[in-house]
């Protein structure tokens, strides 16, 4: 069990590392807890890149064996769950890669079947709760799963993406990047990506979906 001195040392060094990243901890407070090699990071950060860098800095400490990631991203544009759901639905339905996948949207206790192909190669279930996009079902490959995650993250109101599904097979199908122009919703300028720290929570980020 970590001593009080160890805990304070680890959290102080993580806090200093976040400061060197340029994170304004007064505007974006990050809660830090450390015990028995597990670092818990909780709070809201301005963008995906900062979130991934923060997780990377926390995981870089030699005492840290596992990072419990409870960080989320502040939405670039304020949207209600209904608006986010509509954008996510439209993006996934418009992508030809998923034409042979059934698509269902959860609205409260109701489930609306948006598409039911004659021969289904998979199923996509989408639910939104307070900006958290939950994807469930089964898709033909890991590439399909990655693409669905990217399309969801392009909706700026998305704060957290929680995957609850698995590809039907392990092999990637070699699908191409999303067809057509990228959605025109307001979003922050892209920044260099960083690999998230080990032991991140089930809330996925674009890099974890794209690996």
Q: Domains in the chain, start-ordered, CATH in brackets?
A: 4-76 (3.30.1340.30), 81-167 (no CATH)
**DSSP β-bridge partners for residue 115:** 103
Tens digits of residue pLDDT in 82-109:
888 998 999 999 999 999 999 999 888 8
Residue 134 has pLDDT above 70, yes or no: yes
Give this prediction's pTM. 0.50
Tens digits of residue pLDDT in 34-44:
998 999 998 88
- Between CA 62 and CA 60 the distance in angstroms is 6
From residue 155, how far is each of 84, 91, 150, 180 by CA, in Å?
Answer: 7, 9, 9, 16
Please compute the mean of the pLDDT values over residues 51-79 and round it to a whole number.
85
How far is CA 23 from its chain centroid? 20
- Between CA 114 and CA 111 the distance in angstroms is 9
Q: What is the pLDDT of residue 102?
A: 93
Residue 200 has pLDDT above 70, yes or no: no
Grouping H, G, I as helix, E, B as strand and the rest as coil, residue 197 is coil
Grouping H, G, I as helix, E, B as strand and the rest as coil, residue 105 is strand
């Amino acid at each position: 069990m970590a001593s009080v001195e160890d805990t304070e040392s680890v959290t102080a060094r993580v806090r200093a590392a976040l400061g060197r990243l340029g994170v304004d901890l007064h505007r974006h407070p990050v809660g830090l807890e450390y015990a028995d090699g597990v670092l818990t990071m909780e709070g809201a950060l301005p963008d995906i890149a900062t979130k991934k860098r923060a997780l990377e800095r926390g995981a870089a400490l030699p005492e840290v064996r596992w990072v419990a990631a409870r960080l989320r991203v502040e939405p670039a544009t304020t949207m209600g769950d209904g608006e986010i759901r509509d954008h996510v639905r439209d993006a996934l339905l418009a992508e030809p890669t998923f034409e042979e996948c059934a698509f269902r949207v959860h609205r409260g206790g109701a489930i609306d079947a948006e598409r039911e192909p004659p021969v289904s190669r998979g199923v996509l279930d989408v639910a939104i709760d307070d900006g958290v996009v939950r994807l469930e079902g089964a898709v033909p490959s890991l590439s399909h799963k990655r693409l669905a995650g990217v399309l969801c993250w392009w909706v700026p109101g998305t704060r957290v993406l929680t995957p609850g599904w698995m590809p039907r097979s392990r092999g990637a199908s070699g699908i191409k990047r999303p067809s057509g122009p990228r959605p025109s919703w307001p979003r922050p300028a892209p920044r260099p990506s960083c690999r998230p720290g080990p032991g991140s929570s089930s809330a996925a980020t674009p890099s974890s979906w794209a690996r």
